[in-house]
């Protein structure tokens, strides 16, 4: 009795629910072998589509036939063996060499010309069926994508809710994914360090181990989290209906770090003011050093010798400047009343602002339509089309965020910063080093080292509020009650608010990095000195910073 192989295949593990299960195929093959007096010596079971080449079990079965380990093979149906013509051709070559192939459901005599022709026709029909099924599947997927639905498994941080339904944010892993973006955007984490940190917070692989660097990098690069769906295989981008998990600004910051435009630095010594003080002469960051239990910040450029001061002096400078942001209770009420009036007026103009954003959204839609027409006309190639389309969709996402209220209005921002200034000193006094750094970054981008004198330029409106406070109350001294020294305070507050409305917010009293750049030679410090003096509105630079006008009147540490 000749020996034969038996081959059983289903496309997926779930196919048995809708088609011929492996058990039914085995039973039919066993009954056929018994009826035809065939001896089955080995069973080959596979769960891969016959439309794909490279099936490991199928190839192993063909290799056994080539080595003549069996006289032939018994298969349930032709479409169970091959739905791609290359595998069918390999099976045909074995039949030409004398291997016997039996199909249980297809009553064909493959030893005759007519039987082979019928089998070939059925194999071609099966291959055409797969091609058509693939095309229809792609059409369905593209249809879903154009409708804003993601027809693939939900990425980490989201949950699947069925076909033709938007992905929903996972209440457990969603906030952790958002936190991963926020932590990496600080620039203090490498991908490996972030993976370890997130694993300790509960975001890792199912086995409990940290995410791999590649998996974490793919997560941080996925625009799905800002509402865009990118198909990696084709490079196409679509706008999704799902709720974004992070803002576009945060996503762009993370992409800048990943691409190397910004990059995290490994911190060996975590000094309080590390990388927060820049030399006015060379533009480089001062380096923190610990000497005899005290921390000093020095510029190590050869042309800047003598640029050095202690951490205690910087701490005192910051406390004195933050103290100048505190105002009398009566003035606090006046500030809040006037800001409320401005905010109310601003709210009345939000409709105009919304109409401007709607206009910009319409322009983006027109550009998308023209871009599509150019692609259909063959004016631009597919790669350029997808690149420009992704840019326009990202722009539309940013506009939609603004329309939804993601941007604070001008006077709302002033009010928020005013409230921050009132509590900045208290937060600085009780906060740890990281919290102190965040407070400094909220009021200024960098301190400036001018020789042995640190200077704290402030963002607007903190700078204007500091100057107003000095003129209204005088300098801040520890233990001294800051009492009003002028009348008509409300008029002064109105004048200050008019100044803010004219100058805007976000600027500094002293130029920041854009005006202080390393040039390879010692620059002329006189322009910086003149601006330091000018920012005090006629006062000395020490008075403009909120310091005592002479060394004999220096304040003690506040608080």
Distance CA 362, CA 360 (A): 5
Place of tokens 């993976």: 195
| Least confident segment among 195-199, 223-227, 348-352, 491-495 | 348-352
Domain shared by 332 and 458, yes or no = yes
For residue 523, the model assigns a pLDDT of: 38
Token pair belonging to 281: 């002469």
The answer to whether residue 354 is domain-embedded is no
Place of tokens 């740890």: 432
Distance CA 257, CA 85 (A): 48
Report pLDDT digits (tens) over 363-389. Answer: 988 998 888 888 888 888 888 888 888
Under the banding of pLDDT at 50, 70 and 90, the label for residue 543 is very low
**Among 263, 254, 304, 285, which Cα is nearest to 513's?**
285
Distance CA 173, CA 178 (A): 9
Q: What is the CATH number of the domain that holds 213?
A: 3.90.1750.20
Strand ranges for 26-99 from DSSP E: 39-46, 72-75
The answer to whether residue 34 is domain-embedded is yes
Domain shared by 461 and 329, yes or no = yes
For residue 267, the model assigns a pLDDT of: 52
What is the extent of the structural domain holding 507? 278-338+411-553
| Least confident segment among 256-270, 392-406, 452-466, 504-518 | 504-518
Domain shared by 453 and 521, yes or no = yes
Find how far residue 263's CA is from the centre of its chain.
14
Return the higher-pLDDT residue of 201 and 521: 201
**Among 170, 171, 217, which Cα is nearest to 194's?**
217
Domain shared by 107 and 167, yes or no = no
Q: What is the CATH number of the domain that holds 92?
A: 3.40.50.1390
Domain shared by 41 and 128, yes or no = yes
Report pLDDT digits (tens) over 282-294. Answer: 888 888 888 888 8
What are 309's strand-pairing partners? 297
Token pair belonging to 204: 């890792």
Return the higher-pLDDT residue of 347 and 382: 382
Contact of 101 with 34, CB cutoff 8 Å = no
Q: Which of 345-349, 412-416, 503-507 has the highest mean pLDDT?
A: 412-416
The answer to whether residue 268 is domain-embedded is no
**Among 267, 226, 229, 245, which Cα is nearest to 179's?**
245
Helix axes 433-443, 410-430, angle to 10 degrees: 150
| Least confident segment among 212-221, 240-249, 548-557 | 548-557
The answer to whether residue 422 is domain-embedded is yes
The answer to whether residue 499 is domain-embedded is yes
Domain shared by 242 and 120, yes or no = no
Q: Is the pLDDT of residue 175 over 90?
A: yes
Token pair belonging to 294: 């005290």
Token pair belonging to 293: 């239990």
The answer to whether residue 377 is domain-embedded is no
Domain shared by 299 and 239, yes or no = no
Domain boundary among 98, 114, 132: 132
Q: How many CA atoms lie within 13 A of 372 on its CB side?
A: 9
pLDDT over 90 percentage in the chain: 10
For residue 511, the model assigns a pLDDT of: 36
Domain shared by 251 and 284, yes or no = no
277-279 and 287-291 strand pairing: unpaired
Domain shared by 202 and 91, yes or no = no
Domain shared by 55 and 179, yes or no = no
Under the banding of pLDDT at 50, 70 and 90, the label for residue 506 is low
Mean pLDDT of 9-32: 72
Domain boundary among 229, 258, 287: 258
| Least confident segment among 213-222, 298-307, 314-323 | 298-307
The answer to whether residue 475 is domain-embedded is yes
Three-state secondary structure call for residue 161? coil
Domain boundary among 258, 290, 325: 258
For residue 159, the model assigns a pLDDT of: 92
Contact of 107 with 119, CB cutoff 8 Å = no
Domain shared by 282 and 254, yes or no = no
Return the higher-pLDDT residue of 486 and 506: 506
- Cα–Cα–Cα angle for 222, 225, 230, rounded to 5 degrees: 45
What strands, in cross-sheet order, belong to the sheet with 100-103? 39-46, 3-9, 72-75, 100-103
For residue 54, the model assigns a pLDDT of: 63
The answer to whether residue 116 is domain-embedded is yes
Report pLDDT digits (tens) over 54-100. Answer: 678 888 888 898 898 999 898 888 777 766 778 788 888 888 888 88
Token pair belonging to 225: 């989290």
Q: What are phi and psi of 391, to 5 degrees?
A: -65, -45
Domain shared by 464 and 499, yes or no = yes
Place of tokens 């059925």: 122
Q: How many domains, in total, are found in the chain?
A: 3
Mean pLDDT of 8-18: 60
Under the banding of pLDDT at 50, 70 and 90, the label for residue 477 is low
């Amino acid at each position: 009795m000749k020996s034969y192989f038996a081959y059983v295949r289903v496309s997926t593990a779930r196919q048995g629910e809708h088609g011929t299960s492996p058990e039914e195929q085995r039973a039919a093959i066993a009954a056929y072998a018994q009826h035809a007096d065939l001896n089955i010596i080995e069973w080959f079971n596979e769960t891969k589509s016959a439309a794909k080449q490279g099936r490991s079990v199928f190839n192993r079965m063909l290799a056994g036939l080539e080595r003549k380990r069996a006289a032939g093979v018994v298969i349930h149906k032709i479409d169970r063996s091959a739905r791609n013509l290359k595998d069918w051709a390999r099976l045909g070559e074995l039949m030409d060499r004398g291997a016997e192939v039996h199909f249980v459901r297809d009553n064909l005599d493959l030893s005759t010309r007519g039987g082979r022709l019928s089998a070939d026709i059925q194999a071609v029909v099966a291959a055409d069926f797969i091609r058509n099924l693939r095309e229809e599947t792609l059409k369905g997927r593209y249809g879903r994508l154009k409708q804003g639905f993601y027809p693939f498994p939900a990425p980490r941080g989201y949950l699947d809710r069925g076909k033709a339904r938007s992905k929903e944010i996972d209440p457990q892993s969603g906030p952790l994914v958002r936190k991963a973006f926020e932590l990496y955007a600080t620039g203090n984490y490498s991908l490996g360090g972030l993976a370890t940190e997130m694993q300790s917070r509960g975001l890792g692989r199912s086995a409990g181990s940290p995410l791999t660097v590649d998996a974490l990098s793919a997560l941080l690069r996925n625009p799905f989290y800002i509402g865009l769906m990118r198909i990696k295989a084709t490079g196409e981008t679509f706008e999704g209906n799902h709720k974004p998990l992070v803002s576009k600004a945060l996503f762009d910051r993370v992409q800048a770090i990943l691409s190397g435009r910004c990059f995290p630095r490994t911190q060996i010594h975590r000094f309080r003011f590390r990388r927060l003080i820049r030399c006015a002469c060379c533009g480089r960051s001062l380096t923190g050093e610990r000497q005899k239990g005290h921390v000093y910040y020095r510029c190590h450029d050869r042309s800047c010798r003598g640029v050095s001061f202690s951490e205690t002096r910087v701490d005192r400078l910051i406390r004195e400047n933050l103290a100048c942001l505190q105002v009398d209770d009566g003035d606090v009420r006046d500030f809040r009343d006037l800001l409320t009036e401005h905010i109310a007026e601003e709210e009345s103009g939000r409709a105009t602002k919304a109409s401007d954003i709607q206009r910009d959204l319409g322009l983006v839609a027109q550009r998308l339509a023209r871009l599509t027409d150019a692609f259909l006309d063959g004016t631009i190639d597919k790669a350029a089309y997808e690149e420009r389309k992704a840019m326009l969709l990202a722009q539309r996402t940013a506009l939609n965020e603004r329309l939804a209220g993601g941007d604070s209005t001008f006077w709302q921002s002033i009010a928020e910063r005013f409230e921050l200034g009132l509590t900045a000193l208290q937060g600085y006094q009780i906060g740890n080093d990281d919290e102190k750094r965040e407070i400094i970054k909220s009021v200024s981008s960098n301190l400036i080292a001018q020789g042995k004198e640190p200077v704290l330029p402030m963002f607007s409106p903190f700078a204007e509020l500091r100057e107003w406070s000095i003129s209204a109350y005088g300098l801040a001294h520890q233990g001294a009650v800051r009492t009003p020294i002028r009348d008509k305070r409300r008029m002064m507050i109105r004048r200050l608010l008019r100044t803010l409305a004219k100058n805007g917010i976000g600027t500094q009293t002293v130029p920041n990095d854009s005006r202080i750049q390393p040039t390879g030679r010692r620059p002329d410090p006189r322009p910086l000195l003149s601006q330091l003096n000018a920012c005090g509105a006629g006062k000395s630079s020490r008075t403009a910073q909120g310091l005592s006008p002479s060394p004999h009147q220096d304040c003690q540490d506040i608080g």
